[in-house]
Structure 1
Amino acid sequence: MIIFFDKLPSTNDYGLKYGQDFQDWTVVWAKVQTKGRGRLGRTWYSPEGGLWFTIILKPGRALPLLTLSFAVGVVEVLKRKGLDVYLKWPNDILIKRRKVGGILTEYDAQTGILVAGFGINCNLDIDDFPIGIRDQVTTIRRELGHDMMLYGLLEEIIKELKPIYEDVVAGKALRWLNAWRERSRSIGCSVVVTLPDRTIKGYAIDVDEQGRLLVRTDFGVEKIIAGEVKFIE
């Protein structure tokens, strides 16, 4: 089932608040998000023309590898559209070092609701974004030179993600973790990780079976689950 809104503050917030009222795999789709957000509480600019949606899931537990696994599915769909996309840990979808999309998964332990939010810059121009981020983003329109039917893209992504979700829930996420490694350009990069209490500099060597980024430093290997991560390709 797809629930469509002309405008919502955040599709993820809606899914977390009302998820118990809907069945598994209900999709919350908004033409515009007024308070879209990404990782670490950052603002996710979501004007009309993008594809902004959340899938409501009810696994009853957290799924640490779901973000990375779902990212593989989105990349496969976009590649079939002719886009040269790749992944950056933990949740960015890039073209030529510019962000074209991202994924934010959140789990509510009290309700057992997990929401997977997706933002894809589709039928937009660079000038549609705030000046401060225009050199960091791109859009499908910019890359392909034409617009895309949003509903068709949404349907194709959902179809791609369902078997991935079944594998992750069944404990078979390793194949998707390996697929993420193949589609990522994060491994092998120098990184700077800013944490609340310190800054880590090192070399990204892998992701582990919990989806944590492994960074080799002069003092050993750090396992990164959060923080501001800057990759130097």
Structure 2
Amino acid sequence: MRERAEDPSWSIIRKLRAASGGWVSGKAMGDGLGVSRAAVWKHIRHLRSMGYRIEASTRLGYRLLGPEPLHLHIPEDICSRLIQLESVGSTNEFAREIANEAENWTVVIAEVQTAGRGRLGRKWFSPSGGVWMSIILKPRVTPSEAFRYTMAGSVAVCRALRDLYGLDARTKWPNDVLVNGRKICGVLTEISAELDVINYMIIGIGINANMSASSLPEEWNATTIYEELHREVPRGELVAKVLEEMRALLESGDLYHQWVRLSDTLNRRVRVKGFDEVTGIAESLDPDGALVVRKDDGGIVRILAGDCIHLRPDDGDLRAGSDSQTGKGSTGYAEG
């Protein structure tokens, strides 16, 4: 884990965001950072130049008037439309409501989700500081190809975290991204389809970005970008990189090999809970997204959906140096 001094501008944004629209005095911020009030004002001007709406008062200090202006970081050719919300129940639900009329590659992003959810309606904790977004796609593919888009979301996040921040991000079957064995991202793909054609597809991506891991449920065994780098990152830059990588992956023929190369699941002893519970070695991934597991009795089984648990070394993990059970990851595929 790398130790880095945090840029004072990001420290200021973090303090303003934590105030939830309330006032924070320049003196208090300066004292906390070990700088003068004049230096705080310099950083405020810099943040304003980046598009942040920050109100100043001689008597009260400063307050943040809205979420980070992500659109300033995202080139127009990456998505057809960007909808940025301060708060929403679920970006996937919002996207579903507009999907029929929306253009391909419409992106919905929220600062906070009050009812974020994962597979099977599981609650997804989505506080301020994360990246909570849904991408509306209208590909001319059959429902059997849906897993490819979940795969593209996971690999795109891995590549973005690696290229931008040097994090050793890895895919976890079927729909998670891990850093140092802990969950940093989940992907949920939902589709509206006829028998042999998809009407629209919604790719929900949740990345634990600028928050501490202690703010997330302990049972998640989660980490965050802030936890790994000890600094905040520009989320607009991250969103732009994920979208750029995802588009490139879907246009390439290398997506499957990229997922396999980055996998933290393959060649590991796992327990998968679906219709049945299976324990064994995750040997390979089929192109349709099925995890191929060699069971303890020697039999081979293909699993298309389920909760996957990476087992500890003392449970027979093949990988030297693996040191923890990484928790559950549920299937990132749903029909609606």
Normalising by the residue count of structure 2, what TM-score does the alignment of the two structures yield? 0.64
User: Equivalent of 2:242, from 151, 154, 157?
Assistant: 157
Q: Say if 1:70 and 1:164, in contact at 8 Å, map to a contact too.
A: no
Whether 1:79 aligns to 2:162 is yes
User: What's 2:209 paired with?
Assistant: 122
**What CA distance in whole angstroms lies between the structure 1 residues aligned with 2:256 and 2:118?**
22
Structure 1 residues 18 and 206: CA distance shift in structure 2, 3 A: same
Q: CA deviation at 1:128?
A: 1.5
User: Equivalent of 1:199, from 277, 297, 300?
Assistant: 277
Greater mean deviation of Cα atoms: 43-52 or 69-78 = 69-78
Mapping of residues 54-65 of structure 1, within 5 Å: 54-60=134-140, 61-62=142-143, 63-65=146-148
Q: Say if 1:16 and 1:108, in contact at 8 Å, map to a contact too.
A: no
**What CA distance in whole angstroms lies between the structure 2 residues aligned with 1:30 and 1:84?**
26
Structure 1 residues 205 and 132: CA distance shift in structure 2, 3 A: closer
Deviations 1:177-227 (A, max 9, x none): 11111101211111112224x321111100101011011122621111112
User: What's 1:68 paired with?
Assistant: 151
Q: CA deviation at 1:40?
A: 3.5
Greater mean deviation of Cα atoms: 211-220 or 85-94 = 211-220
Mapping of residues 26-105 of structure 1, within 5 Å: 26-60=106-140, 61-62=142-143, 63-80=146-163, 81-105=165-189
**What CA distance in whole angstroms lies between the structure 2 residues aligned with 1:4 and 1:116?**
16
Displaced runs of 4+ in structure 1, greater than 4 A?
Answer: none
User: Equivalent of 2:308, from 224, 229, 232?
Assistant: 229
User: Equivalent of 2:223, from 113, 129, 138?
Assistant: 138
Q: Which runs of 5+ in 1 are unaligned?
A: none
**What CA distance in whole angstroms lies between the structure 1 residues aligned with 2:151 and 2:134?**
16
Q: Say if 2:87 and 2:111, in contact at 8 Å, map to a contact too.
A: yes
Deviations 1:49-101 (A, max 9, x none): 00000110011433222211231121111001121211111111111111111
More strand by share: 1
Q: Which runs of 5+ in 2 are unaligned?
A: 1-80, 312-316, 318-336
Q: Say if 1:16 and 1:115, in contact at 8 Å, map to a contact too.
A: yes
Q: Say if 1:19 and 1:113, in contact at 8 Å, map to a contact too.
A: yes
Q: Say if 1:52 and 1:120, in contact at 8 Å, map to a contact too.
A: yes
Q: CA deviation at 1:15?
A: 1.4
Task: Give the SS at the match of 1:20.
Answer: coil
**What CA distance in whole angstroms lies between the structure 2 residues aligned with 1:28 and 1:124?**
21
Greater Rg by CA: 2
Normalising by the residue count of structure 1, what TM-score does the alignment of the two structures yield? 0.90
Q: Aligned partner of 1:46: which letter?
A: S
Task: Give the SS at the match of 2:204.
Answer: strand
Q: Say if 1:79 and 1:85, in contact at 8 Å, map to a contact too.
A: yes
**What CA distance in whole angstroms lies between the structure 1 residues aligned with 2:157 and 2:215?**
23
Q: Say if 2:266 and 2:283, in contact at 8 Å, map to a contact too.
A: yes
Q: Aligned partner of 2:206: which letter?
A: G
Structure 1 residues 131 and 191: CA distance shift in structure 2, 3 A: closer
Task: Give the SS at the match of 2:187.
Answer: strand
Q: CA RMSD of the aligned region, Å?
A: 1.6
